Structure 1
Amino acid sequence: MGIIGPNGAGKSTLFNLIGGALTPSSGTITFKGHDITATRAAHRCHAGIARSFQIPHPFVGMTVYENLLTAASFGNAGFKDSKAACRDILARTGLLPKANRLASSLTLLERKRLELARALATGPELLLLDEIAGGLTEAECHQLVATIKDIHASGVTLIWIEHIIHALLAVVDRIMVIDFGKIVASGPPKQVMADPLVQEIYMGISVDDVA
């Protein structure tokens, strides 16, 4: 699922609620049929929820490989061979040649890939991606989309917040539009993007102009 909406609509807040960084003032959060509203973020990770952050925050004093091994050791992974699994994830995300480099030395694209790889190393069933394509060149964006498609094909459920619409549309099956904390549209991408209200809220095209 893709999630779009203007700045301040509540998209990252939604991820913070799902991931456990924030506690809702009302309502409940359920995952795989279980109420996790009061569950700590670490326990949600163990249950299979992982996320990337809009601004990458790797363990800069560790190598790329050590970042993944830390995630695999404390997440939900349950790998028989964590070291081999981390090497495989590095290969899938294009970071294997950088495995022994300090995370502090990476470019923006490489840091975003590391953010993605580290989330995968926890063994998620649900992966939350927060504007992971932001700041990338067109070519870098295409590379990232290919990686995300591969991850989805492996059986991981994705919820992706993104302002780079063409990247989002290349991957997602559904789109949900949020404005001022409310869902204003949800459904197949083409149908949602053609909605006059969505065009007005997100693209600045007035409903009168569409009419």
Structure 2
Amino acid sequence: MSTILALDGVQKSFGALKVADNINFELADGEALGIIGPNGAGKSTLFNLIGGTLPVSAGTITFRGEGVTRKSAAERCRMGVARSFQIPHPFIGMTVYENLLVASNFGNSGHHDAEKECREILARTGLLPKANRPAGTLTLLERKRLELARALASGPKLLLLDEIAGGLTEAECESLVDTIKDIRDAGVSIIWIEHIVHALTAVVSRLIVIDFGRIVAEGVPDRVMKDPLVQEIYMGISVDDDAA
């Protein structure tokens, strides 16, 4: 399987504060990867570096075999990198459908039927009945779905999801997970940051754990979650207490 994304020695510093410390990993085409870690660990910063909203201090980022380290966020979007944000910020004065059209026309390059594609995405994300409603009137779940739908409308090859399940009820979370599984099964590569671990592990085949800007564990989800270091830094379970 080919590699769609590769980070090699990626670092980001703000003065003496290092928020990404020698990050190295590859993502296979079509793979779903989960990223976990405590608040402030550098997870969203990593997305900003991959998406191009922050420049790296050192290291390289390669997407689909092309170096993108110095490319802008807009250029990366048009190449096929899309992301959602923790807090949805739709164009509240536009309808749900219009929000998707903006994303489609901005992110997609070449000939495509934007109107047809946006209708299909609305159906896929459960938003078709809300298509003509102002985005500002949506519930939290609907805004989360719109955040996902806007990212899909840009035609991504790689989808970055930043805590998209946060704040949802269990039933809403299960529904969202089913939608993300469908996206994964359609061949879109996914990197998902999430604190709701059971939702994450229902979708991803590999986990990376970040703490203080560094990768501290990586592997199959079940094995990673049983790692004593991961339990201590992420779940607050003391290794010594667990042994006792």
Which residue of the partner structure matches residue 120 of structure 1?
152
1:51 aligns with 2:78: no
Name 2:208's counterpart in structure 1. Answer: 176
- Map of 1:107 onto structure 2: 139
For residues 142-168 of structure 1, the C-alpha deviation after alignment (integer angstroms, 9 at most, x for no partner) is 000000000100000000000001100
Asked whether 1:153 is paired with 2:188, we answer: no
The structural deviation recorded for 1:206 is 1.2
Q: Deviations over 1:23-62 (max 9, x none)?
A: 1111111111211111010000000000000000101111
Aligned length: 211
Tell me how far apart the structure 2 counterparts of residues 12 and 77 of structure 1 sit (CA, whole Å).
27
1:208 CA drift (Å): 1.6
Q: What is the match of residue 193 of structure 1?
A: 225
2:35 aligned with 1:3, yes or no?
yes
The aligned residue for residue 12 of structure 1 is 44
The alignment's C-alpha RMSD in Å is 0.9
Runs (5+) with no aligned partner, structure 1: none
Structure-1-length-normalised TM-score: 0.98
| 2:93 counterpart of 1:61 | yes
Please state whether the residue corresponding to 2:59 is helix, strand or coil: coil
Match of 2:168 among 120, 123, 136: 136
Distance 1:78 1:147, change over 3 A: farther
Output the amino acid matched with 1:72: S
Contact 1:71 1:122 in 2 (8 A): yes
Unmatched 5+ stretches in structure 2 = 1-32
Q: Distance in 1 between matches of 2:59 and 2:98?
A: 38
Shift of 1:77: 5.7
2:119 to 87, 91, 97: 87
Query: SS at the partner of 1:29?
Result: strand
Structure 2 Cα separation of the partners of residues 168 and 77 of structure 1: 31
Runs (4+) off by over 3 Å: none
Return the letter of the residue paired with 2:80: G
Q: Distance in 2 between matches of 1:69 and 1:88?
A: 12
**TM-score, with structure 2 as normaliser:** 0.85
What is the distance in 2 between the residues matched to 1:152 and 1:209? 38
**Larger strand percent:** 2
- Report the secondary structure of 1:42's partner residue: helix
Aligned to 1:30: 62
Give 1:78 deviation, angstroms: 4.4
Q: Secondary structure at the match of 2:142?
A: helix
From the superposition, tell whether residues 70 and 93 of structure 1 become closer, same or farther in structure 2 (CA, over 3 Å).
same
Partner of 1:28: helix, strand, or coil? Answer: strand
The separation in 1 between residues aligned to 2:39 and 2:60, in whole angstroms, is 25
Given that residues 77 and 124 in structure 1 are in contact (C-alpha distance below 8 angstroms), is that contact kept between their aligned partners in structure 2?
A: no
Query: Distance between the aligned counterparts of 1:153 and 1:65, measured in 2?
Result: 24
Confirm or deny: 8 A CA contact 1:2 1:159 kept in the other structure.
yes
Residue 27 of structure 1 aligns to a residue whose secondary structure is: strand
| Farther off after superposition, 71-80 or 148-157 | 71-80
Are residues 1:75 and 2:75 paired? no
Q: Which amino acid aligns with 2:238?
A: S
Aligned mates of 1:145, 1:54 — CA distance in 2:
16
Question: Are the counterparts in 2 of residues 50 and 119 from structure 1 also a CA contact under 8 Å?
Answer: yes
Sequence identity of aligned pairs in percent? Answer: 75
For 1:93-122, what per-residue CA distance to the aligned partner results, in whole angstroms no more than 9, with x for missing partners? 000000000000101100000000000000
